[in-house]
Amino acid sequence: MDNFRALVADSNGEGQQPELTIKSLTAADLPEGEVTVRVAYSSVNYKDGMVAILGRMVKSYPHIPGIDLSGTVVESSDPRYKSGDSVIVTSYGVGVSHYGGYSELARVPASWVVPLPEGLTLREAMILGTAGFTAALSVQRLEDNGLTPDKGPVVVAGASGGVGSVAVNILAGRGYEVTASTGRLSEEAYLKELGAAHVIHRNELTESSERKPIRRPLWAAAVDPVGGKTLQYLLSTLQYGGSVATSGLTGGIEVETSVYPFILRGINWLGIDSVECPMELRRRVWERLGTDLKPTMLSSTIVNEITLEQLPQELSSILQGQVRGRTIVKIG
């Protein structure tokens, strides 16, 4: 591949949003790394919107965004990978401090590469992407902390987004009674198709001005990519010994709580980080995504597939909370 296409972000000056253009590049434009990958698919995450549209976290321009990619190795100076291997690359610096997946060709450090697990195709891996990995890691951590379906209902906040929708689907598939919380009740049918037993409006989970440190116990566990006042409310409504898996901040970063739910109900507040998740655990979670955690949504038609040209619009939409479920980008 002499020339290849990529979505390139260029600086428009300090404080300005970057400019996004599809450009033709050569392999010499790629950063250093041991493994060169012909990208098959990428995906759209909230973080991609923050990077590509708002220019957050980007250290230098030009930059190729895209925190997820799946594809085929074309060249590797690391003996663990050879030409023709199917691989996934997510997390670490990809798409943030290092060129990412919105590109027909990518070059990355070998230490960031995960072999495509048996049981997943390159397309399915990107339907999951960082959001799906984060949902699975949340479920794994909740179960490591004692969650089983007989313990009671599990609530998923931001349920119609990426992390939320995959979490609803995985949990329902494992026999949990799932309550999906959303700001978009118009997505009720979609959430029920994913397996939610109940769909509630996110206002029901948002701490009102009358803040209470502890409330009637409602949930055995919660998956929370929203944060803010939603997380405040979830902490106060977990059952005895319950856990919340915190992964995101779409609803805010400040959380006011008290020691009461911890010392009176023995709850667990679990932090979920996909970026620096150790490789051994990362591989185990990906392997589970191809086997016992494999979501049924992978084989349904409710996945949005777009092209490089459609990315700028989709990246803006995800920042406005308007994207449903997962969106994949067909690259190669």
| Site residues (vs ligand NDP, CB under 6 A) | 45-47, 130-131, 134, 158-164, 182-184, 202, 225-226, 230, 247-251, 272-275, 318, 321, 323
The smaller minimum CB distance to ligand NDP, of residues 25 and 285, is found at: 285
The smaller minimum CB distance to ligand NDP, of residues 30 and 255, is found at: 255
The smaller minimum CB distance to ligand NDP, of residues 101 and 225, is found at: 225
Q: Which residue has the tokens 């919660």?
A: 222
> Residue with the closest Cβ to ligand NDP?
161
Closest CB 165 distance from ligand NDP, rounded Å:
8
**Which residues 6+ apart lie within 8 Å of 157 measured at CB?**
164, 181, 202, 205, 222, 223, 224, 225, 226, 230, 231, 234, 251
Closest CB 327 distance from ligand NDP, rounded Å:
8
108 phi, psi to nearest 5 deg: -140, 160
Closest CB 152 distance from ligand NDP, rounded Å:
22
The smaller minimum CB distance to ligand NDP, of residues 41 and 46, is found at: 46
**Two tokens at 293?**
């955690």
Closest CB 106 distance from ligand NDP, rounded Å:
19
Q: Which residue has the tokens 């150790």?
A: 278
Residue type, position 126, single letter: M
> Per DSSP, what are the bridge partners of residue 37?
73, 106
Residue type, position 120, single letter: L
Closest CB 259 distance from ligand NDP, rounded Å:
24
249 phi, psi to nearest 5 deg: -145, 20
The smaller minimum CB distance to ligand NDP, of residues 82 and 201, is found at: 201
The smaller minimum CB distance to ligand NDP, of residues 66 and 164, is found at: 164
Contact 149, 174 (CB under 8 A): yes
d(CA 17, CA 8) in angstroms, rounded, equals 13
Helices within the chain (DSSP H only): 46-52, 122-144, 162-173, 188-194, 228-237, 260-265, 279-289, 311-319
Closest CB 85 distance from ligand NDP, rounded Å:
25
Helix (H, G, I), strand (E, B) or coil at 156: strand
d(CA 303, CA 45) in angstroms, rounded, equals 14
Residue type, position 224, single letter: D
Closest CB 233 distance from ligand NDP, rounded Å:
11
The smaller minimum CB distance to ligand NDP, of residues 124 and 224, is found at: 224
The smaller minimum CB distance to ligand NDP, of residues 25 and 50, is found at: 50
- Provide the 10 A C-beta neighbour count for residue 184: 17
Closest CB 23 distance from ligand NDP, rounded Å:
26
**Which residues 6+ apart lie within 8 Å of 47 measured at CB?**
57, 67, 95, 96, 130
The smaller minimum CB distance to ligand NDP, of residues 45 and 239, is found at: 45
Contact 325, 317 (CB under 8 A): no
Closest CB 273 distance from ligand NDP, rounded Å:
5
